[in-house]
C-alpha cells in the first residue's frame, strides 16, 4: 500500500475518532501525517542501525531545556549526557527486531484542546545475554516549531520533563508498556 493511500486511510480514521473529542477542528492534514510518518521512519532507521542514543535528536528543544535546567547544565551538555546514557544502557542489549505501526496511530488531543498528538504502536524484541524479551508500547509524536518530535512516554523523568515543557500534557494518561520475557 502506498504512503499516500495509508495517509488517506489514516486521515479518514483519525477524522472520525477526532469528532468525539473537544477539538475536532485540530485534525491533521495529509501533509502533516506524511511528515510525521517520514520522521518516524528516520527514528526507526536509527534503531535499526543500533544508534538509539541518537534518538535524543528527536526530543523537542523545550524538553531538553527543562532537562538542562533541572540538572544545572547547558542544553548541549544535557543532549550529550542523554545520548551517552541511552547508548551506554544498550551496550549489553541487542535489538533483534523493532518498529512502529504508523497505520495504527491514534489521534489524540490534550485535555485543554490545545495540542493534537499521535500515539503510535511500537514493538521490539531484544536480547540481553541468554534472555530474549519483547515489548509493546506507544510512542508519542507531536508537532512543534515546525518539526515532529518522537519520545517514549513511560512514567518517569522524561514524562515529567514533557509536562514541564508542555503543560498541556498535564492530565494525559499514557499507556503503560507491556514487557514479556520470551525465553
**Sheet strands (E) in the chain:** 94-100, 106-109, 116-128, 131-144, 147-152, 178-181
CB 46 within 8 A of CB 56: no
Q: How many domains does the chain have?
A: 1
**Whole domain around residue 151: which residue ranges?**
3-181
> What is the pTM for the complete model shown?
0.82
According to DSSP, the residues that pair with 94 across neighbouring strands are 127
Tens digit of pLDDT per residue, the chain (183 long)? 434 333 333 333 333 333 333 444 368 999 999 999 999 999 999 888 888 889 899 999 999 999 999 999 999 999 999 989 888 887 888 889 999 999 999 999 999 999 999 999 999 999 999 999 999 999 999 999 899 999 988 878 889 999 999 999 999 999 889 999 997
Q: Which residue has the cell 507531536?
A: 142
Ramachandran sector of residue 156 (left: φ over 0; alpha: ψ -120 to 50; beta: rest): left
CB 90 within 8 A of CB 47: no
Amino acid at each position: 500500500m502506498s504512503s499516500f493511500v495509508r495517509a488517506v486511510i489514516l486521515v479518514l480514521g483519525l477524522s472520525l475518532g477526532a469528532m468525539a473529542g473537544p477539538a475536532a477542528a485540530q485534525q491533521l492534514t495529509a501533509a502533516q501525517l506524511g511528515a510525521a510518518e517520514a520522521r518516524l521512519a528516520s527514528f526507526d532507521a536509527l534503531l535499526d542501525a543500533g544508534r538509539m542514543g541518537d534518538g535524543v535528536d528527536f526530543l523537542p528543544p523545550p524538553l531538553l531545556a527543562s532537562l538542562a535546567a533541572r540538572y544545572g547544565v547547558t542544553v548541549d551538555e544535557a543532549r550529550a549526557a542523554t545520548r551517552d546514557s541511552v547508548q551506554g544502557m544498550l551496550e549489553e542489549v541487542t535489538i533483534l527486531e523493532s518498529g512502529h505501526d504508523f497505520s495504527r496511530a491514534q489521534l489524540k488531543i490534550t485535555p485543554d484542546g490545545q495540542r493534537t498528538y499521535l500515539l503510535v504502536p511500537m514493538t521490539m524484541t531484544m536480547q540481553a545475554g541468554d534472555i530474549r524479551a519483547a515489548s509493546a508500547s506507544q510512542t508519542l509524536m507531536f508537532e512543534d516549531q515546525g518539526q515532529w518530535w518522537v519520545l517514549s512516554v513511560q512514567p518517569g523523568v522524561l514524562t515529567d520533563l514533557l509536562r514541564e515543557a508542555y503543560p498541556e500534557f498535564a492530565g494525559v494518561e499514557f499507556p503503560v508498556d507491556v514487557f514479556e520475557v520470551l525465553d
